[in-house]
């Protein structure tokens, strides 16, 4: 069985070092600064480059045990997809 991935083919997720550099340079906010807007507990996060835009691809545990995939603009903190 192939593992399931929520990452689209055009996304290139950053390594931990690349993510740290993006945050240090101001190209991306810290995950903690966008966490409040996602509506639940973040259980997995990746910082990815999608067509020149940095986004956080998140797996979020919502109320009543529901899990959602959420995409957040890493620079503005705006939720792009739920």
What's the pTM?
Answer: 0.82
- Residue 11's pLDDT band (cuts 50, 70, 90): low
- Residue 5's pLDDT band (cuts 50, 70, 90): very low
CB–CB of 58/35 below 8 Å? no
Cα Rg of the chain (Å, integer):
13
pLDDT in tens, 45-70: 999 999 889 999 999 998 888 999 99
CB–CB of 77/37 below 8 Å? yes
Which residue carries 């067509």 as its tokens? 51
């Amino acid at each position: 069985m192939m593992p399931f991935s929520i990452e689209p083919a055009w996304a290139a997720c950053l390594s931990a070092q690349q993510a740290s550099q993006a945050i240090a340079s101001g190209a991306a906010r810290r995950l903690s600064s966008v966490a409040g807007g996602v509506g639940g507990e973040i259980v997995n996060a990746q910082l990815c480059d999608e067509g020149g835009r940095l986004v956080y691809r998140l797996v979020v545990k919502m109320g009543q045990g529901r899990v959602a995939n959420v995409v957040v603009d890493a620079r503005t903190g705006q939720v792009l997809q739920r």
